[in-house]
């Protein structure tokens, strides 16, 4: 049994296995990141969320750099690669966010070949428990629903279009990344102590696009 610290209230998905997705409040996230010496909690959280929910379409330039055609790899195959070769930082995020069958920590999952169809599958290295593609789809749907994500995907019409799409994505990556959907909530209302306390108790998925309604708040005073 692997014991991993969890924060937030779980969202349970029953599929081949039982999965729990943990979504912390902003205060819980800040406390956790302070303990782990992680700078900029909001950016860290949403950056890693973007990684684990990535699609081949959203990573086309990066896949091209390593010789993988984004239109020849499935979402699940990309996810197995991300999990197999994950960084220690992403490992912390997966440990914090996802639990399988209550007793198994996600860090044990690696890419294996399914004996029946010879396809790649995520499998726990100690218990041989599989994380199959159908379950992956259900987990991603839960992330989409809870965070309001729009996970892009698509295929190019021809090779010329494909090269243009990759070049455009490569240019995007060169620019400094600033997400319009992940504002620094604390700094925006740092002088409003009562409001800060309210925001700290919100689950982080409720903070996307957060904007304090000054007039509405006055109505409740």
- pLDDT higher at 144 or 153: 144
Note the pLDDT of residue 199: 60
What six digits make up the tokens of 105? Answer: 């920590």
Whether pLDDT at 187 is above 50 = no
Whole-angstrom distance, CA of residue 108 vs CA of residue 123: 8
The structure's pTM equals 0.75
Note the pLDDT of residue 201: 66
Q: Burial, 121: exposed, middle or buried (Cβ in 10 Å; 0-12, 13-18, 19+)?
A: buried
- As a whole number, mean pLDDT of residues 54-81 equals 91
Note the pLDDT of residue 141: 92
- As a whole number, mean pLDDT of residues 145-150 equals 87
> What is the residue extent of each domain of the chain?
9-215
What six digits make up the tokens of 11? Answer: 């969202």
Whether pLDDT at 155 is above 90 = no
Whole-angstrom distance, CA of residue 20 vs CA of residue 23: 10
Whole-angstrom distance, CA of residue 129 vs CA of residue 120: 14
- As a whole number, mean pLDDT of residues 143-168 equals 89
Largest CA-CA distance found in the chain, in angstroms, rounded: 63
Tell me whether strands 104-105 and 120-124 are parallel, antiparallel or unpaired. unpaired
Whether pLDDT at 6 is above 70 = no
């Amino acid at each position: 049994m692997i014991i991993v610290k969890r924060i937030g209230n779980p969202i349970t998905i029953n599929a081949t296995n039982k999965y729990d997705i943990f979504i912390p409040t902003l205060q819980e996230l800040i406390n956790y990141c302070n303990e782990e010496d992680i700078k900029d909690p909001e950016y860290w959280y949403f950056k890693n969320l973007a990684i684990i929910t990535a699609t081949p379409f959203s990573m086309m330039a990066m896949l091209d750099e390593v010789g993988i055609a984004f239109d020849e790899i499935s979402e699940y195959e990309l996810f197995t690669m991300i999990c197999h070769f994950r960084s220690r930082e992403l490992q912390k995020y997966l440990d914090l966010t996802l639990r399988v069958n209550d007793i198994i920590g996600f860090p044990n999952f690696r890419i294996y070949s399914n004996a029946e169809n010879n396809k790649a599958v995520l499998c726990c290295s100690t218990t041989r428990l599989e994380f199959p593609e159908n379950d992956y789809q259900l987990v991603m749907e839960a992330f989409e629903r809870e965070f309001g994500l729009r996970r892009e995907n698509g295929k190019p019409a021809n090779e010329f279009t494909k090269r243009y799409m990759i070049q455009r994505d490569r240019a995007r990556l060169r620019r400094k990344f600033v997400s319009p959907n992940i504002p620094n909530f604390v700094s925006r209302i740092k002088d409003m102590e009562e409001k800060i306390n309210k925001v700290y108790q919100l689950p982080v998925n409720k903070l996307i696009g957060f904007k304090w309604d000054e007039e509405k708040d006055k109505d409740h005073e």
